Amino acid sequence: MNVCVLASFMYDLVATTPTRPQPGQTVIGTSFQTFVGGKGFNQAVAARRAGADVSVIGRLGDDPFGEEFRAFLHSEGIGAEHVLADAGSGTGVGLPLVETGGQNSIVIVPRANLHVNRHDVAAASNAIVSADVLLVQLELPMETVLAAVRLAHGAGVRVVLNPAPYATLPRDLLAMVDVIVPNEGELRQLAGAGASDPIEQVAIDFWRGRRGALVVTLGEHGVLVLDGDVPVERVPAVAVAAVDTIGAGDTFCGNLGARLAAGDDLRTAVTVANAAAALSVQRHGGAPAAPHADETAEVLAHSGAAAIQD
């Protein structure tokens, strides 16, 4: 149950406000908090709390934000041997704006994340090829993502790609991915589909003829799963009152990777990940909101969904 994460690190400076400001407008926020974050880091924490052994590859600035990340990684028991200190760039920063209803928009400034390169990947090759699952996102340079995916694919390691933030994907990247996990907006962009096109049909058309599986997260509308010749399936959401959706997709991906690494079938892994994400949106922050495996198991037990089996 070993997961390797090609990780981005973003120190989140989070403002909460009743409404998002319009151009030229200033609004008064209701709260301000700071959290360690970044899609890759959040996914690594989520996978670790789901029970996986986790190692991360990435870069942090030589600054107080970087020190806080390293302390958090250590406290969670996540392997950080391949997290480099980048003296020339600061730690990545995220500036989320959270509305009272829980919806958010985020500006990220990658900084040290932009310097993670194929040489870093090569130096961490043992961590990648010895993993059961490699988790990747798109907050790092595309050539770095490609290098890690090629290495994992060549070694028979299962590759899970979260295509966020959206970017045009090289054809050879998709050919090496075992599970791709976009949200609805990202899928529509990848497929070149309109906002009114039925999402099930968009998913079917986009994935037709491709290898592996497509898992589309739809928030309160659940998850779509397309896997080989099996008809598209919708896994229902767990009904909750969301207070903060930051990191929910990352919690989903981290748990999905952990459960696939544990040998679960895709449908079971999605069900577990769905429950974990539902728990996370009832808490504030990205990584700190990720639940532990026993919490997720309790939600599954009360919902009657598939149980976690190690």
Overall size of the chain counted in residues: 310
How far is Cα 215 from Cα 182, in angstroms, rounded to an integer? 7
Characterize 194-208 residue by residue with b for buried, 16 or more Cβ atoms within 10 angstroms of its Cβ, and e for exposed: eeeeebeebbbebbe
- How many Å is the Cα radius of gyration of the chain? 18
How far is Cα 27 from Cα 215, in angstroms, rounded to an integer? 37
Nearest to 236, CA basis, from 273, 280, 211, 271: 271
The one catalytic residue among 53, 250, 294, 310: 250
Look up residue 310 and give its amino acid: D
Q: Using an 8 Å Cβ cutoff, are 236 and 222 in contact?
A: yes
Residue 114: CB atoms within 10 A of its CB come to: 17
Q: Using an 8 Å Cβ cutoff, are 117 and 93 in contact?
A: no
Q: Using an 8 Å Cβ cutoff, are 37 and 280 in contact?
A: no
Q: Using an 8 Å Cβ cutoff, are 3 and 263 in contact?
A: no
Handedness of CA 270, 7, 131, 211 (dihedral sign): positive
Run of H or E residues at 76: helix 64-76
Residue 286 main-chain phi, psi, to 5 deg? -95, -90
- The answer to whether residue 294 is catalytic is no
How far does CA 59 lie from the centroid of its chain? 17
Catalytically active residues are 250
